[in-house]
Amino acid sequence: MSKLPLKKCVFLFTELAGYIVACMKDLAATGLVEVHVVRWPVNAVAPFKFSLEGENLHFYERASFSDEQLLKFVNDINPDIIFCSGWIDKGYMAVCKAYRNKTKTVLTIDNPWRNTLKQNLASFVGPLYLHKYYSHCWVPGSPQRKFARKLGFKDENIREGVYSCDFKLYHQLFETYHKSKEKAFPKRIIFVGRYTKLKGVKELWEAFIRFHQEQPNEWELWCLGKGDMDADFPNHPKIKNFGFVQPEEMAKFISETGVFILPSHYEHWGVVVHEYAAAGFPLICTTSTGAATTFLEEGKNGFFHDPCSTESLVAVLKKIDRLSPAELLKMGDASAAIAERITPAKWSSTVLEFINN
């Protein structure tokens, strides 16, 4: 019996990240789809390295195409579906407009609804404008679904789960290090992200120092990243700076730390929250962190704190310090279970659902 021809899927992407590549590899591995990805260069602030090899999986540099060449290139592929990352690239939008009445064209966004002036303007213009380019919308979770509705997309044309961590990788690390953490839970909190104002590192560093002053304890803070606040990193014996770390080097840090924190003033989503949930970490996040709406349940697998508030964060750090190792392990186990809500396999199923329904 002859095989059915593969469906052809084009992704018009801005910056790629390892977690998106993991999802695309899972999709290609189904043997049902030929995946073509046009992408922008890697961000210099977070210069992740990742393998782009895979059967039925092809990557292309956006810079190698003019807008006209890009449309011809997509025409030659003759895709069954197109996914477009936002509306910042006018060449990408031109492709979507050309295919809008031929096949499904899916807008992917991660902006949650915040009721800002800019968003209210977009909610006025979007329904009049975006439908010329996009038939569907794919978002990370419920905060973004609300914005998609405001942009004029009907609920039945919106899907959630556009971001998934490399679940298999992080869950394996959870299983690998669970026994050692049962024997001696590492009293180290880990932050992974850019050292910038919006990531809340100023409040994090201040809160951790105050935490030690007000309630002497054994906890350390390990920070992995870099950014425009590198020079402001505090000189404190319990706060360590490891700089930017590539994904393949993360296992060591996951094995030696116990609690994850992301104190962002505002985070559209934050896949790193999903990664550390899958790795079995209790979580500390601000109430304005998108991914926490899916992966953090207050008191069950971690705690929320107010954004931009050193005082609120100090209170949460004191809560963590009062928990026993057994209670922290139980929280980590809950995180690992909650993390299964979104996986690359479920991501691939959503792509196939878009194609076939």
Q: What pLDDT digit, counting tens, does each position of 315-352 carry?
A: 999 999 999 999 999 999 999 999 999 999 999 999 99
Residue range 170-181: mean pLDDT, rounded: 98
Q: 76 pLDDT exceeds 90?
A: yes
The tens digit of pLDDT for each residue in 185-218 reads 999 999 999 999 999 999 999 999 999 999 999 9
Largest CA distance in the chain: 73
> Quick one: 167-341 is in which CATH superfamily?
Glycogen Phosphorylase B; (3.40.50.2000)
The closest of 312, 335, 319 to 254, measured between CA atoms, is 335
Q: 52 pLDDT exceeds 90?
A: no
What is the distance between the alpha carbons of residues 335 and 301, in angstroms, rounded to a whole number?
A: 5
pLDDT of residue 50: 58
Give residue 18's pLDDT band: very low, low, confident or very high (50, 70, 90).
Answer: confident
Question: What is this structure's pTM?
Answer: 0.93
Domain residue limits, the chain: 7-164+342-356, 167-341
The CATH number of the domain covering residues in 7-164+342-356: 3.40.50.2000
pLDDT of residue 1: 44
Q: Characterize the bridge pairing of strands 57-61 and 33-39.
A: parallel
pLDDT of residue 336: 99
pLDDT of residue 54: 77
Decide whether 7-164+342-356 matches 167-341 in CATH topology. yes
Residue type, 299: G
**Tokens matching residue 317:** 């750090």
Beta-bridged to residue 260, according to DSSP, are 190, 283
The closest of 31, 16, 12 to 348, measured between CA atoms, is 31
What is the distance between the alpha carbons of residues 46 and 17, in angstroms, rounded to a whole number?
A: 9
Helices (H), 165-200: 167-183
**Tokens matching residue 76:** 């030659």
